[in-house]
Amino acid sequence: MSTTLAHRGLPSGVGRFDLLRLFEQVARPGFGLSSTAVALVRHYVLKTMDGDYVSGRICAVWTQACRFAEALGLTPRSINSAERELEQAGFIIRNAGINGERAGDRQDGVVIWAAGINLAPLVERFGEMQAKAEALELQARAIQQCRAEIRQLGQRIREAGDDDLRERAETILPDGRTARITNIDRLIAIREALSAMLAAIESAPDPDPRALKTSDAPEENCAPNIQDKNSSRRRTPPARDPLDRIRPATALVVATESYRGIVEALGGPSWPNLVEASWRSCGRLGIAQSTWGKACRQFGRERAALSVLLIDRNAELPLGHRYRVASPARCLAGMVRRAGSAGVNFAGLFRATERNVQEVPPQAAPLEPPIEPQVGPLANLTARLMASMERRVAPDG
């Protein structure tokens, strides 16, 4: 049976390869099509011509299934299954002749009739696929934001120092990882459960309030009630972590252009976005994911992110610069090792890098012998720390 089934054409300015790219973008995540079906549609489109997508034309191919199978390195049965899958999904119409024979006629570049695979449904669904692509993008952003919030809640739970609270959090999210969770509803449920748990702990009353000692004896027969603990006015306040004064926006001041671009694409400066940007930068810097994981366990995610940010900055210094990081992977591994013994002064390292950026812009590569920086603890801190990290792991390279 032949057919002259025509279509209404693609929107103005849209070509067949734009249609193909859109289909490949949404076929698997949006419609659950197999990779074989996607590859087959690509082969269909390559067999057509640009004029076949004009309104009122016939867009069809009539190559035998065995030829498609040979071109794709598959069996004819696989091709028939993929065509059946595409037909059931509503992207093609199969209208072969008797005994599955396929044929057609093209005159002056225009298909007159065809008995084979008609692509009119694919062309007609361009608007639907475009809406599906936008929905998938919004869903991906929501998933990314939800993952960032879950990581932030997990960090706050770990900082609470409550082993029972941590165990309960692990029952909600084993290993604290969300990378393999792609269902937005499940991610939202995890986020709400962790948020409710943390809110309940933070709103609980102090189990050991510092109250005045009282007695049931008559007031006139007892001595004045005096506190036997030091007054809060005399108590030395707990030491504040110097890193608390470093905000995400402040950290980006010393970041490279590449790093800042990633953060902006993620939605702007925030600790979850800096953690994500550092994780992505590890591949560019040659830092193994195992090293990144060790840094997160040793320092916490925020300090690990700051470490990668500073290493990235110092790796872009000109060749021969005394503060330049030659091997980012070795440097981060050395920081992890150093943290287990002497510790790492993140605040001091950040201030030294900030001062170094102000004094020596990264784009100003030294054409002449570099001027020695001012002598002092901040001026030399970056060189000492970075060189120490690389020396500690040099034998491992």
pLDDT tens, position by position, 156-203:
877 777 777 777 777 777 666 777 787 888 888 888 887 887 776 665
230 contacts: CB under 8 Å, gap ≥ 6? none
Instruction: Retrieve residue 284's tokens.
Output: 């560019």
How far from chain centre, in Å, is Cα 256?
18
pLDDT at 343 over 80: no
Strand order in the sheet with 93-94: 60-61, 117-118, 93-94
Identify whether the C-beta of residue 332 lies closer than 8 Å to the C-beta of residue 386: no
Average pLDDT of the residues of the chain: 78
Distance separating alpha carbons of residues 121 and 139, to the nearest angstrom: 26
Query: Of the ranges 58-62, 126-130, 150-154, 308-312, which one carries the lowest mean pLDDT score?
Result: 150-154
Identify whether the C-beta of residue 118 lies closer than 8 Å to the C-beta of residue 60: yes
Distance separating alpha carbons of residues 340 and 345, to the nearest angstrom: 13
Identify whether the C-beta of residue 379 lies closer than 8 Å to the C-beta of residue 373: yes
Q: How many degrees, rounded to 5, is the angle at CA 63 between CA 25 and CA 88? A: 50
pLDDT at 388 over 90: no
pLDDT at 122 over 60: yes
Task: Return the closest-CA partner of residue 335 out of 266, 379, 391, 378.
Answer: 391
Higher-pLDDT residue of 17 and 392 is 17
Map tokens 């110092």 to a residue. Answer: 314
Distance separating alpha carbons of residues 322 and 338, to the nearest angstrom: 21
308 contacts: CB under 8 Å, gap ≥ 6? 278, 281, 282, 285, 287, 292, 295, 328, 332
Residue 97's pLDDT band (cuts 50, 70, 90):
confident
Q: What is the pLDDT of residue 206?
A: 52
Torsion from C-alpha of 154, 156, 158, 164, nearest 10 degrees: -90
Helix (H, G, I), strand (E, B) or coil at 236: coil
Average pLDDT over residues 235-253: 65
pLDDT at 226 over 90: no
Higher-pLDDT residue of 307 and 317 is 307
Distance (Å) of CA 130 to CA 19, 50, 127, 135: 9, 20, 5, 9
Distance (Å) of CA 18 to CA 13, 66, 226, 330: 9, 28, 82, 44
pLDDT at 144 over 60: yes
Q: What is the pLDDT of residue 88?
A: 95
Q: Which of 18-27, 217-226, 276-285, 377-386 has the highest mean pLDDT?
A: 18-27
Q: What is the pLDDT of residue 217?
A: 45
Q: Is the dihedral of CA 299, 303, 308, 312 positive or negative?
A: negative
Q: Is the dihedral of CA 63, 47, 38, 9 positive or negative?
A: negative
Q: Is the dihedral of CA 14, 19, 25, 26 positive or negative?
A: positive
Identify whether the C-beta of residue 316 lies closer than 8 Å to the C-beta of residue 363: no
Higher-pLDDT residue of 121 and 395 is 121
Task: Return the closest-CA partner of residue 91 out of 40, 46, 141, 17.
Answer: 40
